[in-house]
Amino acid sequence: MGWGTWLAFKQFQNRREQKPTSLAPVSILKPLKGVDEGLVENLESFFKLNYPVYEILFSVTEKTEPAIAVVQELLSKYPSVDAKLVCEPQNTGPNPKINNLMTAYELAQHDVVLISDSNIRVKPNYLLNLVPDLSDSVGIITAVVAGVSAKGLGGWLEASYLNTFYARWMVLTKKLGFPSVIGKSMLFKKSTFKRIGGLKTLGHYIAEDYMAGHSIQKLDLTVELMRSPIEQFIGPYSYQNFWARHLRWGRIRKSIAPIAFLIEPLFFSTVSGIIGSFSLKALFGFSPLLVWFSHMALWGICDGLIYGLMDQFSWKALGAWVIREALAPLLWISILSGNTVSWRGRDYQLLKGGLLAEGRTT
């Protein structure tokens, strides 16, 4: 816990600007589905990048997709930016995101490709700080995501999760040599992906980001984290959405790494506090209640420090943190109880290793 917090600090405290060295042209791929609050601003931030040569390829799966209007408005507002809309889904497997992206991926003109989700909002120097780190020994650069502009209980819970547990987890697993790749921001070279069969190979996995990282490591290339977190615009988010999303993520983790999933509760503040307090009582006769509250306070301070690094800490954030920590064991039990996930209106059966069985519409 302390080590993870320290690593997170080390990773993000010096958000120094990169001295641009090699600024390879970049193709930015944006899969779109629906219009959430903040979408215009999120997408617009990619039209304002300070970068010599880049193109943006928006991809949708249906001609009736509501996000098309948003994109067309931006295309006419920024005619000087090389951007286009693609509506030509392919069927590479059950992963809808890969199916949506495949044609845009094939159309991408540049070797360096950035896949970036629609709820990511970036600063103008984003690519300047990101691309120079993509050296020959690096396979993928991903980023820690900071949840910002949360609204509603689900939104605050999501921010609490991203800005504490997940941020620490990403820097910690990177340090331990098992880096997590987050699909919200993946920078890589097409020529590298060609060595694993291209993007289409990932279409059979629900966690295409995890599998991309896993495959890249098999080529003796590294997965790196961007030096500063990127912002995910959360906006209004219901409790049900929060629960469904984390149920999905948890079941994916369970399918990919079942043993790691089984020991996950040991890393929950509540559970590790209970184990610690009873252990200390048995060994030294300490008061379990006192130990447990001290443990929770210390855990809260560490999480608060990371939260402060990622976003502005507030009382609402503290409240969300308390609820999230209390919910974590219940969520874990719920994850344990099934192997299906709902994703973009479809139910999928998860197979071993993160493979997906074909879904059915719900």
Partner 1 sequence: MYLADFHLHSNFSDGKLSIPALVDYYGKRGFGAIAITDHFCEQTTLIGRASSYLGVTLTAATFPIYREILKSEQERAWDQYGMCLIPGVEITKNSISNHRSAHFLVLGNLDHIDPNQDIRELSDRVRPEGALVIAAHPVSTQKIEKQTFHLWDRRYELASKVDAWEVASGPYLFDEVRYSGLPLIANSDFHSEKNMTSWKTLLSCEKKQEAVLQAIKKQQLDFQFYREEPKRESSYTSIPWIMGPQLGHYGMGNVASLQAVSK
Rounded CA separation 280/47 (Å) = 56
Nearest approach in angstroms of CB 139 to partner 1 is: 12
Residue 137 binds partner 1, judged by CB under 8 A: no
Nearest approach in angstroms of CB 195 to partner 1 is: 4
Nearest approach in angstroms of CB 102 to partner 1 is: 16
- Helices in 219-264 by DSSP H: which ranges? 239-256, 258-262
User: Which candidate in 111, 133, 209, 347 is catalytic?
Assistant: 209
Nearest approach in angstroms of CB 191 to partner 1 is: 10
The H-or-E segment that residue 140 falls in is strand 138-142
The H-or-E segment that residue 189 falls in is strand 185-189
Rounded CA separation 219/192 (Å) = 9
Whether 136 sits among the annotated catalytic residues: the reply is no
In angstroms, the Cα distances linking 237 to 31, 156, 245, 325, 342 are 20, 8, 11, 18, 17
Rounded CA separation 83/157 (Å) = 35
Instruction: Between 209 and 325, name the residue whose CB sits nearer to partner 1.
Output: 209
Residue 204 binds partner 1, judged by CB under 8 A: yes
Question: What are the φ/ψ torsions at residue 124 (nearest 5 degrees)?
Answer: -55, -30
CA angle 319, 261, 4 (to 5 degrees): 55
The 217-236 contact track toward partner 1, x by CB under 8 A, reads: -xxx----------------
From the list 74-82, 274-282, 298-306, 349-357, the region that binds partner 1 by CB under 8 A is: 349-357
Among 201, 272, 294, 334, which residue interacts with partner 1 (rule: CB under 8 A)? 201
Rounded CA separation 66/33 (Å) = 8
Q: What residues between 245 and 284 interact with partner 1 by CB under 8 A?
A: 258-259
Among 138, 153, 196, 357, which residue interacts with partner 1 (rule: CB under 8 A)? 196
Instruction: Between 329 and 353, name the residue whose CB sits nearer to partner 1.
Output: 353
Residue 349 binds partner 1, judged by CB under 8 A: no
Nearest approach in angstroms of CB 211 to partner 1 is: 7
In angstroms, the Cα distances linking 135 to 26, 114, 130, 140, 224 are 14, 15, 11, 10, 10
Enumerate binding residues for partner 1 (CB under 8 A).
Answer: 194-197, 201, 204-205, 211, 214-215, 218-220, 258-259, 351-355
